[in-house]
Structure 1
Amino acid sequence: MSEILRVENLKKSYDGFVAVNGVSFGVAKGELKALIGPNGAGKSTCFNMLTGQHRPTEGEVFLDGENITGRKTRDVWRKGVGRTFQITGTYQSMTVIENVQMALMSHHRKLFSMMPRAWKLYRDEAFEFLDTVAMADQADRPCSVLAYGDLKRLELAIALTHRPRLLLMDEPTAGMAPSARIELMQLVADIVKDQGVSVLFTEHDMDVVFAHAHHIMVLNRGELIADGSVTEVRNNPQVQEVYLGGGTLFKEEDAHA
């Protein structure tokens, strides 16, 4: 299977502190891949370099074979890389569908149309994205009254509006109830399967990771210590040591290749 993302020897240091140290990995087209690790392992720093928010100290990032290292965030976004964040950033004063319409106006370079008729732009297309995340029935509700799990779904719809080839999701289920976490990641898994979008996500909930990831990478102190199937990561002694001091990370029956 060909790769949508290839990272080579990625490094980021700040005044002598090395946050990410020589990380190399790939994400295949149509793959749902998890990047896990303890707090401070370098996961968010790695994401920020992939999306152009931070310039790597060393190393290169390739998107579908094209070198995008150090490109500006908006350029990376235009190339087909989307991102969701741990803390949602929707416009609370707007309705659900207006938030999606705003994203579509940005995608279609129509933000100059911020005028009384703007509410009519791309409304049908916005409904389609809301339907994808099971939010169409809440289209005209103000975001300020939504449950947190619904805000996460809305953020996903917004991230999909420019039809990304690669979607980076930073702690997508943070702050959600356990059942809502599984539902959201099942939705993401369905999108990966149906639309062929590649997804790289960070997550602390191991139940979510083991239930949905095709493959798992593990960062610790800025270094990649494992990259493989759920079974391979589960049986990796170094991963066991990082997470549970040598104990069993999860049960055999939880694993899938």
Structure 2
Amino acid sequence: MTEILRVENLKKSYDGFLAVNGVSFAVKQGELKALIGPNGAGKSTCFNMLMGQLKPTAGEVFFDGARITGKRPREIWRMGVGRTFQITGTYQSMTVIENVQMALISHHRRLYSVLPRAWKLYREEAFEFLKTVSMQDQADRPCSILAYGDLKRLELAIALTHRPRLLLMDEPTAGMAPTARVELMQLVADIVSEQGVSVLFTEHDMDVVFAHAHHIMVLNRGELIADGSAAEVRANPQVQEVYLGGGTLFKEASHA
């Protein structure tokens, strides 16, 4: 598989403190890759540099062979990189399908010219994206009454509207019930498999990570200490020390 994202020696310093220190990795096309680590390990800082919200102190980021270091988030988004956030950002006063329609209007650059008749635009296309996340039956429900897990599904549909080749998902299952977490990540895994989208995600739920990620990276104190398969990461003594003080990391089960 070809590389869709390459990160080389990425660093971010705050008054001499290295929040991210020399991180290098790659994400391949069609890969579902997890970035895990304790609180404060540097995961969100790393994500924010990949998407342009933060400027790196040093290092380079390449998307599909093109250097994107220093580009603005909107430019990176236009190139084919999407993102979801820990806290959902839907329009609560709109219906489910209207939220997706607004994302499509933005993607097609028609935001300022068609607002009086926006409710008519791209409705069929929006409905297809809702089908992708199994929310077609809730198309006309107001977002204000949705369960939190459904808001997360809607956010995923919105992120897919510009057909990204790479999707960055920051804590996609945060705040969700255990069953809903598994369902959402299985949905993401299906999208990766069926559409060839690459996904890089951060996550605290280790059952979710080990059940679905093709490969796993571990950050600790801003440094990448492991990058490999679930079995390799589980057996890594340094990772075990970080998480459980030297104990065995996660039970051997169907998550391998």
Shorter chain as denominator, the TM-score bin is over 0.9
**Which residue is 1:71 aligned to?**
71
* Per-residue deviation, residues 17-61 of structure 1 (Å, max 9, x unmatched): 111000000000000000000000000000000000001000000
Aligned sequence identity (%): 85
For the residues of structure 2 that align with 1:130 and 1:253, how far apart are their CA atoms?
33
How far is 1:115 from its partner? 2.8
For the residues of structure 2 that align with 1:126 and 1:86, how far apart are their CA atoms?
23
For the residues of structure 2 that align with 1:101 and 1:205, how far apart are their CA atoms?
32
* Per-residue deviation, residues 198-252 of structure 1 (Å, max 9, x unmatched): 0000000000000000000000000000000000000000000000001111122
What's the TM-score once normalised by structure 1's chain length?
A: 0.98
**Which residue is 1:37 aligned to?**
37
For the residues of structure 1 that align with 2:98 and 2:116, how far apart are their CA atoms?
13
Structure 2 contact 32–199 (Cα < 8 Å) conserved:
yes
Which structure 2 segments of 5+ residues have no match?
A: none
Structure 1 contact 231–255 (Cα < 8 Å) conserved:
no
**Which residue is 1:26 aligned to?**
26
SS in 2 for 1:111: coil
**Which residue is 2:116 aligned to?**
116
* Per-residue deviation, residues 49-99 of structure 1 (Å, max 9, x unmatched): 000000100000000111100100000000000000000000101110110
The residue correspondences of 1:79-98 to structure 2 (distance < 5 A) are 79-98=79-98
* Per-residue deviation, residues 85-130 of structure 1 (Å, max 9, x unmatched): 0000001011101100110011000101353311001000000000
Does residue 177 (structure 1) correspond to residue 177 (structure 2)? The answer is: yes
C-alpha RMSD over aligned residues: 0.7
Amino acid at match of 1:100: V
How far is 1:2 from its partner? 1.0
What's the TM-score once normalised by structure 2's chain length?
A: 0.99
For the residues of structure 2 that align with 1:2 and 1:101, how far apart are their CA atoms?
32
For the residues of structure 1 that align with 2:2 and 2:232, how far apart are their CA atoms?
21
Amino acid at match of 1:252: E
**Which residue is 1:50 aligned to?**
50
Which structure 1 segments of 5+ residues have no match?
A: none
Does residue 151 (structure 1) correspond to residue 151 (structure 2)? The answer is: yes
| Deviation >6 Å, runs of 4+ | none
How far is 1:255 from its partner? 4.4
SS in 2 for 1:30: coil
**Which residue is 2:212 aligned to?**
212
Structure 2 contact 212–255 (Cα < 8 Å) conserved:
no
For the residues of structure 1 that align with 2:168 and 2:34, how far apart are their CA atoms?
10
**Which residue is 1:99 aligned to?**
99
